Structure 1
């Protein structure tokens, strides 16, 4: 288990089908600014949201 999985827990993830976006939309009340959409899979939308949360904690590095 890496540091992310030990320190960050999502208490709830909400997924719904959006007719407007023609995609499943995943969001969490803990991170209201982060949303992920996937047009094929609700699970992929959740996985994408988790990746966004993980990336928000990753230090930004400049690549030379």
Structure 2
């Protein structure tokens, strides 16, 4: 998952606490309890999922009119 620190924060990396995740760029981190806990607390922000190439076929989008009559 891609994350960055909340504005004004620097968050230590799980595998090397002497290195930090800053609030400027998103970095790839493993989906671990450590990073999920920081996301939950608001210290980290996740990158919004890209909708490029995604198709949502919901019932509201489908043409459900009966055309046999």
Give the number of the structure whose alpha-carbon radius of gyration is greater: 2
Larger proportion of helix: 1
Same fold (TM over 0.5): no
Larger proportion of strand: 1
TM-score range, shorter chain: under 0.3
Higher relative contact order (CA 8 A, sep 6+): 2
Q: TM-score scaled by structure 1?
A: 0.23
Q: TM-score scaled by structure 2?
A: 0.22
